[in-house]
Amino acid sequence: MKKIISIMFLFFFILLLGVFFGTENNQTKADEIKDKIEMFEGQISTPNGIINNEQIDVKPNIGNQVAKKGEKIVYSLLDHVLETIKNILESDK
């Protein structure tokens, strides 16, 4: 029982360390979108502003695929941890 609790504590501790050490870069997606909006508004607010209607195909890259797989792994681990905690609490009754 103590071993399971210590493993869960270690897991959550490592998870919290990852959250604390995770850093954001200067050019986040929000900043990029904000810059694109400002550029677009500058084009449409000027008289005779020419806007090109370009179709941009969004192709998922390796970063997106790895992030989605990582998200699935984290969610499945958390589900297992919560199920283990639930079973421990129910077994004590």
The phi-psi region of residue 42 (left if phi > 0; otherwise alpha if psi is between -120 and 50; otherwise beta) is alpha
Residue-level pLDDT at 77? 93
Residue ranges covered by each domain of the chain: 62-93
Amino acid at position 79, single letter? D
pTM of structure: 0.36
pLDDT less than 50: residues of the chain:
none
Which residues are CB-neighbours of 54 under 8 A, at least 6 positions away?
Answer: none
Residue 77 and residue 14 in contact, taking contact as beta carbons nearer than 8 Å = no
Residue-level pLDDT at 24? 60
